[in-house]
Structures are given as structure tokens and as C-alpha cells.
Amino acid sequence: MLKTLLLFFITALMELLGCFLPYMWLRQHGSVWLLPIAALCLLAFVYLLSLHPEASGRVYAAYGGVYVISALLWLRLVDKIALSFTDMLGAAVILGGVLLIIAPWQSH
């Protein structure tokens, strides 16, 4: 289960970077070289998401929860915005849902 979660968090990082780098280029006048790096991150995101042995809809559902948690971590670590109690509570509830969804995969 830890391996699945780790793969999801790495996948989420690639998706977040793939979206954040063009934002930096557009809104913060970053280098145009951020765009090909963003494209590579999004390619890695798609590839990593395809590595799971479960049906795609189930993978996407579980990954969606991990993405929400990752976005909150991004908010804290990159944007430097403190998480609220409800942010943390929501992340805990979502993590519980993710674990419920991926638990049966571990028996394959």
C-alpha cells in the first residue's frame, strides 16, 4: 500500500509541476524554458498514472484523493500558506477514502 501511495504522490508532483511552471511563465514572467519542462512533467504524470494494475476509473478515483492532499501540501510548502484545521481534517478524511479504495489492490 505504501508503494501505491508513494507512486500517487510522485504522480501528483508531476501534475502540479506541469501546471505550475506555465503559470510561472505566464504570470511571473518566467523563462520560456519552463514550458518544455512542464510538458515533460505532464508526460511523466500520464506515464506514472498508467503503471497501476487496477481499472482506470478506480485508479483515477484514488489518485484524485491523493492529488487533493498533494495540492494542500503544495499550498503549505510552495505558496507558504498555513493550512486550516478544516484543510487538515478534509485531507485526513480523503486519505481514509483513498486507503479504502486501494486496499483491495494489495491482495492481487
- List the chain pLDDT tens, one digit each, 108 residues: 788 899 999 999 999 999 999 999 999 888 999 999 999 999 999 999 888 878 788 889 999 999 999 999 999 999 999 999 999 999 999 999 999 998 887 665
Overall domain count for the chain: 1
pLDDT at 108: 58
Query: What's the grid cell of residue 80?
Result: 507558504
Cα separation of 61 and 43, whole Å?
Answer: 20
* Cell 505550475 found at: 20
Asked if residues 38 and 22 have their Cβ atoms less than 8 Å apart, the reply is yes
Asked if residues 58 and 21 have their Cβ atoms less than 8 Å apart, the reply is no
* Number of other residues whose CB lies within 10 A of the CB of residue 66: 22
| Contacts of residue 52, Cβ cutoff 8 Å, sequence gap at least 6 | 4, 7, 59, 105
pTM: 0.84
pLDDT at 104: 80
Residue 98 structural domain: 2-107
